[in-house]
Amino acid sequence: MQSLVWQLARRYRSTRHTSGFIRFISASSTLGIALGVAILILALSVMNGFEQALKQRLLAVIPHVELEAVSNQLDNWPEKLPVLSAVPGVVAGAPYIKANGMLRSGNQVKAVQLRGVDLQQERQISDFANYIQSGELDVLHAEQLVLGSGIAKALQVAVGDKVQLMLPRFTADGRLASYSNRLLQVSAIVAMGGQLDYSQAWIDLQALNGFLEMPAGTVQGLAFRIDDIFAAPQLARQLGQQTEDYVYIRNWFNSQGHVYQDIQMVRAILYLVLSLVIAVACFNIVATLVMAVREKESDIAILLTMGMRPVAIIRIFMLLGSLNGVVGTLFGAVSGVLLALFIEPIFASLTQLLGRSLLDPSIYFIDFIPSLLQWQDVLVTVLLALGLSILSTLYPAYRASKVDPARVLGQR
């Protein structure tokens, strides 16, 4: 009986006696399922790629946790830093000083966020030195600074050029008093992608301490790198409890959490929308089977008269409809996997053809389309498509088993 069910399902699928409209609806449902599966696999892979790029690029150059002094600077930081760095989950720590200033080169002026760092310690918590576009960053002297590529482009400067740094001076009551001016040489230009390239500059820690006329040996805060980036809020609170200083407690969720949340939101929306696309394509199977049942009523009546059980009729039409889902899912899965594996070179070729990047580097932290294929995503997508395909066959197959042989054959 099982062999007969399979043979009849294949015959009904391949017969040329079926009307052209039914064949068109059947083909459109198969194509719709394939398209939905392929795009869903590609979209999930691209979202995985963006999440991986966020971890490996953006979160590799910004501190995961920061403890920043509220009013007075942090003193005796060389004694405090090892204690805080020894907290379980913390990889390393480094001091910093932050300040807002203006850089000037000729007629070009650019507002920047200065970050004073101890280069050797900063390398332990940030990989920004790995993104050097030009110049060298073995040593950062007092009269040197490192620029993001966007700032260097805006100021029209290169490595070796000198720029004027203007830092504001405030009175005791917080009013702007004047500006201090320093002439600094560009020692390196880094290109990390995103807003950091257009806003961040690095300078020697002690040099910035002197420029801001801070007490000698003090810093504004301590930055940390942790092993589990998603534990940043908990570790930030734990580090804040370990220090006796009055500090702001910050973590990367405060500054870049919106990027991660946007990725997760887009992933959820894409999954929902493309799942509905697959569902709509599967619902075409319902229309195909309903019309097929109407067209094959006489065959069904004869089979029932010859003693075939209604459950076998149900299996025939469930198998007939499921074949569309299986074929569509198979082609969609193969196409989606291939697109996910080759989307990066495809996007690079398209960018080269157009002569410009489709991702604005001043907005996005990468200028390419990343992709990370995860086989569990492929499996879930395939099971979703097959499950919806099978569900779509239940009602038409049940209707086929309820055909009245006396009515159908009596009309003949």
DSSP helix, strand, coil percent of the chain (3-state; round to 5) = 60, 20, 20
Over the range 212-237, which residues count as b (16 or more CB within 10 Å of their CB) and which as e? bebeeebbbbbbbbbeebeebeebbe
Q: Which residues contact 222 (CB under 8 A, 6 or more apart)?
A: 66, 67, 74, 77, 80, 81, 84, 93, 94, 95, 96
What gap in Å lies between CA 337 and CA 412, rounded to an integer? 51
pTM for the complete prediction? 0.75
Other CB atoms within 10 A of residue 354 CB: 9
Cβ atoms within 10 Å, residue 94: 25
pLDDT tens string 191-239: 877 777 888 899 999 988 888 888 888 899 999 999 888 888 899 899 9
pLDDT tens, position by position, 60-105: 888 889 998 887 788 888 888 898 988 899 989 999 999 888 898 8
The arithmetic mean of pLDDT across residues 316-331, rounded, is: 82
pLDDT of residue 129: 77
pLDDT score for 95: 92
When the pLDDT of each residue in the chain is averaged and rounded to a whole number, the result is 81
Q: Which residues contact 375 (CB under 8 A, 6 or more apart)?
A: none
For residues 317 and 314, what is the distance between their CA atoms, to the nearest angstrom? 6
Give the distance between the most distant pair of CA atoms in the chain.
Answer: 105
CA distance 75 to 326: 68
If DSSP codes are grouped into helix, strand and coil, which group holds residue 157?
coil
Residue 35, pLDDT > 80, answer: yes
**Per-residue pLDDT reduced to its tens digit, 9-32:** 666 665 555 556 667 777 777 888
**Is residue 177 over pLDDT 60?**
no
Query: pLDDT tens digits for 149-174?
Result: 888 888 988 888 899 988 877 655 55
